[in-house]
Amino acid sequence: MNTSQRLRLTLARALAWMLLLAGWVGIGAFAEVLAPTTTDAFALVALWLLALGCTATVATRDNLRPGVRRGALLLCAAVGATSLVAATGGGGLAALLLALLAWASLAALASGVVRALRLGQPTRPGPPLVAAALGGLCAGLVLGGLEDLPELAWRLGAAMLAAALLLAALQPASRADMPPSRCRAGLFDCSLPAWPAAAWRDVAAWPMLLAGLAMLPLMAALPLMAAWCRGQGIAPQAIVLVHFAAMFGPALLLHRAIARWSAARLSGLCALALAAGAVLVYAAAPPWNLLGLAFAHGSAWGLAWSGQLWAPERRGRQSASPWRAAVGYAVLTVAFGAVVQQLGAPGVAAAHALLGVVAAVAWLLAGTVTPRIKA
């Protein structure tokens, strides 16, 4: 792969990750203000996740014509940006619903561009660590403090349009001649976890599996956590940037070591990070408890994510449709929203504490048993 091909793929991957992360948190920020209840707000985020998985079944197909994908990218970005601005100008929930559907489609189409570029390479590209970190940084800068919705709408809309234009330019002019990849389950060329249900039969794997799920409640609750931090005198964008830095920072610094780690060591470190988050969320004073939680559980997800990039068999059948994982994510998000509706901030703390406690207990139970996780 020459330098030009590598840069094109890296840029497309970074844009796809930016759209995923900024959309996940950004839609949540709008939903928290426009939805009648917290449960409804989380339901809108769940709908976004479900729409992302469903549209990916079409947007990532190898037989989709390049011109069609380019046109769809630009159309979705235009509709999404316009709808976000309209949502703050009187359009309300109706405009937000249209925006979230357009954004989900745009993120799925971005995944299709990444896939097309990857399949067109003569050699298999490496894991998208640098690209994902760049995408996370861009998402954090675009999101900002989340509190000013009209300003946030313009920033997110501009990001959508810029990303669509760049992705349309990066889309290969012809379909790749290489045999199609089997990997479709995880979006972004299988760089998101899609853990198999059968993996839960092995207790030794639980810490890694739970770490893979840690991003779900964190991303859904980030707008609320940012607001709570603002009430404690901490800039709200701090928790967003800390979380994104934790997701990708340790993976970048330790990527050479992680590639050599056994599954047992990776699972143990995931358990340690999850348990640390459970301790911090109750032992540290506000708002440092939330910042500590965001860093610890973000790091746990990053370890699990980067570890599975070198061992794709850990996430099960690579040919599975992405909508199946999206259904599970949507259901869990709605359930988490119901907990937060009833308990508020203690509900967020309790959910993450439960992850840490279960991971620690599973690691202790499996300590005397030979791990069966595939390395």
In-domain check, residue 181: no
pLDDT at 24: 93
Distance from C-alpha of 108 to C-alpha of 269, rounded to nearest angstrom:
32
Residues 203 and 287 in one domain: yes
Predicted TM-score (pTM) of this structure? 0.90
Residues 356 and 214 in one domain: yes
Return the HEC string of the chain: CCHHHHHHHHHHHHHHHHHHHHHHHHHHHHHHHHCCCHHHHHHHHHHHHHHHHHHHHHHCCCCCCHHHHHHHHHHHHHHHHHHHHHHHHHHHHHHHHHHHHHHHHHHHHHHHHHHHHHHCCCCCCCCCHHHHHHHHHHHHHHHCCCCCHHHHHHHHHHHHHHHHHHHHHHCCCCCCCCCCCCCCCCCCCCCCCCCCHHHHHCHHHHHHHHHHHCHHHHHHHHHHHHHHHHHCCCCHHHHHHHHHHHHHHHHHHCHHHHHHCCHHHHHHHHHHHHHHHHHHHHHCCCCHHHHHHHHHHHHHHHHHHHHHHCCHHHHCCCCCCHHHHHHHHHHHHHHHHHHHHHHCHHHHHHHHHHHHHHHHHHHHHCCCCCCCCCC
Q: What tokens appear for 136 in the block?
A: 């996370």
pLDDT at 31: 95
- Domain end marker among 111, 141, 174: 174
Residues 128 and 199 in one domain: no
Q: What tokens appear for 272 in the block?
A: 């340690």
Residues 113 and 148 in one domain: yes
Per-residue pLDDT of the chain (375 residues; tens, 9 = 90+): 688 888 999 999 999 999 999 999 999 999 999 999 999 999 999 999 999 988 888 887 777 889 999 999 999 999 999 999 999 998 999 999 999 999 999 999 998 898 888 877 777 777 788 999 999 999 999 998 888 899 999 999 999 999 999 999 999 987 655 455 544 433 454 445 555 667 778 888 899 889 988 888 889 999 999 888 888 888 878 889 999 999 999 989 988 888 888 888 889 999 999 999 999 999 999 889 999 999 999 999 999 888 876 554 544 444 456 677 788 888 989 999 999 999 998 999 999 999 999 999 999 988 755 444 444
In-domain check, residue 182: no
In-domain check, residue 283: yes
Residues 140 and 3 in one domain: yes
Residues 154 and 246 in one domain: no
In-domain check, residue 186: no
Residue with tokens 């990857």: 118
Q: What is the CATH classification number for the domain harbouring 91?
A: 1.20.1250.20
CB atoms within 10 A of CB 65: 10
pLDDT at 6: 87
The count of C-alpha atoms lying within 13 angstroms of the C-alpha of 341, restricted to the half-sphere facing its C-beta, is: 16
pLDDT at 23: 94
- Domain end marker among 142, 174, 206: 174
Residues 211 and 156 in one domain: no
Residues 320 and 356 in one domain: yes
Residues 110 and 203 in one domain: no
Q: What is the CATH classification number for the domain harbouring 326?
A: 1.20.1250
Residues 101 and 211 in one domain: no
Number of domains in the chain: 2
pLDDT at 3: 83
In-domain check, residue 187: no
pLDDT at 329: 85
pLDDT at 370: 46
Domain encompassing residue 309:
193-375
pLDDT at 371: 46
Residues 83 and 52 in one domain: yes
In-domain check, residue 183: no
In-domain check, residue 99: yes
In-domain check, residue 258: yes
Residues 208 and 170 in one domain: no
